[in-house]
Amino acid sequence: MRRTFLIPRRKLPGAPASTNPANETRSAKALRTVAASGLILIAAALPSAAGEQVSPGLATERHDLKPKDKARVDRVVRPTTDFSRPEQFELMQGGAGTSEKRVNQDAFSHSSANITFEEEGTFKLGNGMFRKLWVSSPSSTQASDGLGPLFNARACQSCHLKDGRGHPPEGNSDATSMFLRLARPAETEEEKAALAERKVLNFPDPVYGGQFQDLAVPGLKGEGRMVISYQQFPVELAGGTKMVLRWPSYSVSDLGYGPMNPKTTLSPRVTPQMIGLGLVEQIHPADILANADPDDKDGDGISGKPSIVRDHKTGELTLGRFGWKASAPSIRQQSADAFAGDIGISTPDVPHHWGDCTKAQGTCLAMPNGVQDRLGPAEAPDPIMDLVTFYSQNLAVPARRDIDKPEVLRGKQMFYEAGCASCHMPKFVTRRDAPNKAQAFQLIWPYSDFLLHDMGEDLADGQQVGDATGREWRTPPLWGIGLTQTVNGHTFFLHDGRARNLTEAILWHAGEGQAARDRFAALPASDRDALIKFLESL
């Protein structure tokens, strides 16, 4: 059996007319607003269940800073208007933890430069857990069994190749670093209420669960096979430059457990790079919420909105900031979800000993699990979770390159003037009260607002994930993007890797990104090339 999911394609425009330079980008307005009034408070826009107090994860003011420091931070993070030279500290885009080691295939795998000697040891142990190959139960290696029974990979490193960016299967390569999320819409009033109260992000397929898993332990069938096909169509840019974009469609074949629910949607996801996650975790929620404009009250066409989720442990509403749809509030929760969904390993945070197996997959649930009484009530107990979390929090951001080259500076100016910085906001200063001093009060340059944006029908997956609709995605950070080829040997971008280079990635922007995309397409070829050179320097 084979099911195909097609998204109607609209014709992408060619080279548009040049934009009006008087139109003020959101980054420019942010500069003006910050200068006039400091932090923007959007507490009124934050949803909350009846009777709930606003949690620290949704704070709209930075109580970690004294007024003097607050004013200093506001000055530092203002968007620049001087493109004649690099900004101060721009080279060190990951703050004091930036890696200045030689650029090679290991560029994303270095520890933060400012952690202690003792923490370096913890980081290396965490790296070992990240690379650990899990095996099926029962096994003589009792600290490593529990794989699956259904799974997509045997180790974290198998998906996050060299701690970098995944890719769609091309040629004879496998689909290990890309998978399909499965979800169906709410059908009953009870399900709709659970969504509204943020008790769930969405609802899995009743047979195949929340993730399509093509691998299985011995004695069990995998769920099937992901199939991708592409159609190509031309796009013309200013100056007569012609590009060919590829339009993907996704299906599943060789289903091992009967048909899927006809309303189940398939959402393809490549694994994102891992660098700088601990710094992102320590951006104060007030600084992310300050840039949200969910109702587009300023009329600029950009209505970024926060993803509000529940913390697994506390049950409190908090800010989601990790994942393609900002569905996870913390690195630990993101890791626990990945252990369960990708590898089929239970943790204290997500105690699913049979991973994503559903009630309809009785043979899967009948397989042995890897829980060992002497190690605790989960296959990956707290010590493993602590190590993997620490490792993920302390993967260093590489230093910038070529920041003073005229073409890169020109490209940076084009990036700002095209409006790219409206969503890919350049810089933040992390919270002073971060649990680890290595991430505290650091000026960082992730180039993201960590908000959800409607990216149009072209990039839509039709799948709701919490606050994110089927057309909305979190702005992905851009730091390190220029090293994708060096680290991972490819240049596939966007959530499903459909873009084969950075130019194609920009041309796929629609919805709230349409205006910036059109400005880019209208630039002279030399300015477009300069903008790409700027991105390659990140």
| pLDDT, tens digit, 9 for 90 and up, residues 62-77 | 999 999 999 999 999 9
Closest Cα to residue 264, out of 193, 211, 328? 211
Domain ranges of the chain: 92-536
Cα–Cα distance, 511 to 452 (Å, whole number): 12
Q: Which residue has the higher pLDDT, 298 or 281?
A: 281
Banded pLDDT at 140 (limits 50, 70, 90): confident
What is the per-residue pLDDT for 64?
97
Q: What is the dihedral of CA 168, 171, 176, 182, to 10 degrees?
A: 50
What is the per-residue pLDDT for 375?
85
Q: Which of 7-11, 113-117, 430-434, 463-467 has the lowest mean pLDDT?
A: 7-11
Closest Cα to residue 277, out of 436, 493, 473, 482? 436
Q: Does residue 537 carry a pLDDT above 70? A: yes
* Residue-wise pLDDT tens digits, 234-249: 999 999 999 999 999 9
Q: Look up tokens 């969910």; give the residue.
A: 294
- Sorted by sequence, the CB contacts under 8 Å of residue 460 that are 6+ apart come out as 7, 470, 471
* Residue-wise pLDDT tens digits, 326-384: 999 999 999 999 999 999 999 999 999 999 999 999 999 999 999 988 888 999 999 99
* Mean predicted confidence (pLDDT) in 128-136: 96
Q: What pTM was computed for the model? A: 0.91
